[in-house]
C-alpha cells in the first residue's frame, strides 16, 4: 500500500509557515563540497568586480567567493537563509546578513548582483527572486550567476525518487526541491523583469567527489530524506548509493556527480 508522509516526517515548516527545504551546516559543506567555490571562478570572472563597486552576493554561503569579490576592492553584502552559513561568512569578515531571497529589501543600492550555486534552491518562486534582484540594482547594473540547469543531477534525482516509491511514498516526485531551468526558460524570466541578457549557456560539468556519494546525499538531499521516518533514513541512504553505484562510481570507488550548470550575465535595461 502506498503512503503519504505525515507533515512531521517530511515537509517541516518554519515559524512563518514556509517549507524548510534544506538544512545547511558550514562544516559539512566544506568537507563534502569544497569544489563548489573552487569551480566558481568562471562566473566570478564574468562578474568582473571593480574597486569601489557595491555588490550583493545572493546565497553567499560560507562567504568564500564573497571574500574574493571583496579582495578585488568591491564593497560586498552577502545574504543567505542559513544562520550557520551566515555565521561562517561573518568569520571571514564578510558583511553577511540573514535574509530570504524571495523578499530582498534593497532598492537600487548595488552596481552588481552575484550568485553561485544557490538559485536552484529557490524553486518556490524564482520570479520573486529575480524581481528582488532587479529592484536591488542601480540603473544599468549587472547580474552574474551560475546554478543547476536542466538535466542537473538527473541520475541522482531518479534514484532518490525511486527510493521514496520503494518506501511507499505515492507523492515521491513532490519532494524534488530543485529548480533546473533550460537556458531559454531562464532567459525569458530575466527579460520579463527588465534584464537584457548578454550571455547565457547550459553545459555539462561532471565533478569527481572529494568524499563519497553518501556524504553528498547527506549534504544536499535533505528534502528527500526528511520524507521518511528517522529510523528509515540510514537504510534509505544505502539503497540510493546502491542504485547509483553502477553509473556514477568507477572501478576505483571514485564517485562522479552528473552536474549540468546554467551560467549567465544580464544587465538592467
Neighbours of 122 (CB within 10 A): 24
pLDDT for the residue 2: 43
* Share above pLDDT 90 across residues of the chain, in percent, rounded to a whole number: 81
Q: Is residue 68 predicted with pLDDT exceeding 50?
A: yes
Of the candidates 90, 91, 55, 92, the one whose C-alpha atom is nearest the C-alpha of residue 72 is 55
Confidence of residue 21 (pLDDT cuts 50, 70, 90): low
Question: Using CA of residue 77, residue 57, residue 21, residue 225, what is the dihedral sign?
Answer: negative
* Structure confidence by residue, pLDDT tens digits, 74-122: 999 999 999 999 999 999 999 999 999 999 999 999 999 999 999 999 9
Question: Using CA of residue 242, residue 246, residue 247, residue 249, what is the dihedral sign?
Answer: positive
Spatial contact of 221 and 176, defined as CB atoms under 8 Å apart: no
Spatial contact of 169 and 4, defined as CB atoms under 8 Å apart: yes
Q: Is residue 199 predicted with pLDDT exceeding 70?
A: yes
Q: Is residue 223 predicted with pLDDT exceeding 60?
A: yes
pLDDT for the residue 28: 82
Confidence of residue 173 (pLDDT cuts 50, 70, 90): confident
Least confident piece of the model among 48-57, 172-181, 242-251: 172-181
Q: Is residue 250 predicted with pLDDT exceeding 80?
A: yes
Of the candidates 94, 262, 266, 66, the one whose C-alpha atom is nearest the C-alpha of residue 183 is 262
Q: Is residue 15 predicted with pLDDT exceeding 60?
A: no
Rounded CA separation 206/204 (Å): 6
Confidence of residue 7 (pLDDT cuts 50, 70, 90): very low
- Exposure b/e, 131-145, CB count within 10 A at least 16 = b: bbbbebbeeebbbbb
Domains of the chain: 7-268 (3.40.50.150)
* Structure confidence by residue, pLDDT tens digits, 43-64: 999 999 999 999 999 999 999 9
Cα end-to-end distance, the chain, whole Å: 54
pLDDT for the residue 269: 92
Q: Residue 230 burial by CB count (10 A; 0-12/13-18/19+): exposed, middle or buried? A: exposed
Q: Is residue 203 predicted with pLDDT exceeding 90?
A: yes
Average pLDDT over all residues of the chain: 90
* Share above pLDDT 70 across residues of the chain, in percent, rounded to a whole number: 92
Q: Helices marked H in 48-142 — which ranges?
A: 64-71, 83-91, 126-136
Rounded CA separation 72/180 (Å): 30
Q: Is residue 9 predicted with pLDDT exceeding 80?
A: no
State the cell numbers at 219. Answer: 549534504
Of the candidates 42, 32, 41, 82, the one whose C-alpha atom is nearest the C-alpha of residue 62 is 82
pLDDT for the residue 25: 80
Rounded CA separation 25/59 (Å): 14
Average pLDDT over residues 166-171: 89
Rounded CA separation 254/258 (Å): 13
Amino acid at each position: 500500500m502506498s503512503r503519504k508522509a505525515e507533515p512531521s516526517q517530511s515537509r517541516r515548516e518554519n515559524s512563518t509557515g514556509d517549507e524548510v527545504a534544506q538544512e545547511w551546516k558550514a562544516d559539512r559543506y566544506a568537507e563534502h563540497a569544497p569544489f563548489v567555490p573552487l569551480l566558481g571562478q568562471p562566473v566570478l570572472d564574468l562578474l568582473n568586480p571593480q574597486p569601489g563597486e557595491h555588490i550583493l552576493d545572493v546565497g553567499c554561503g560560507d562567504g568564500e567567493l564573497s571574500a574574493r569579490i571583496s579582495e578585488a576592492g568591491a564593497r560586498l553584502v552577502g545574504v543567505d537563509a542559513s544562520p550557520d552559513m551566515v555565521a561562517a561568512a561573518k568569520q571571514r569578515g564578510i558583511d553577511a546578513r540573514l535574509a530570504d531571497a524571495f523578499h530582498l529589501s534593497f532598492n537600487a543600492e548595488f552596481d552588481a548582483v552575484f550568485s553561485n550555486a544557490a538559485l536552484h534552491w529557490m524553486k518556490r518562486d524564482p520570479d520573486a527572486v529575480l524581481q528582488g534582484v532587479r529592484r536591488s540594482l542601480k540603473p544599468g547594473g549587472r547580474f552574474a550567476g551560475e546554478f543547476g540547469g536542466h538535466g542537473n543531477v538527473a541520475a541522482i534525482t531518479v534514484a532518490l525518487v525511486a527510493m521514496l516509491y520503494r518506501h511507499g511514498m505515492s507523492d515521491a516526485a513532490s519532494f524534488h526541491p530543485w529548480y533546473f531551468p533550460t537556458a531559454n526558460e531562464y532567459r525569458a524570466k530575466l527579460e520579463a523583469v527588465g534584464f537584457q541578457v548578454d550571455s547565457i549557456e547550459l553545459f555539462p560539468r561532471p565533478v569527481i567527489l572529494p568524499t563519497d556519494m553518501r556524504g553528498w546525499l547527506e549534504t544536499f538531499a535533505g528534502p528527500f530524506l526528511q520524507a521518511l521516518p528517522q529510523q528509515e533514513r540510514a537504510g534509505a541512504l544505502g539503497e540510493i548509493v546502491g542504485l547509483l553505484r553502477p553509473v556514477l562510481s568507477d572501478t576505483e570507488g571514485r564517485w562522479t556527480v552528473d552536474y549540468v550548470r546554467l551560467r549567465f550575465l544580464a544587465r538592467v535595461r
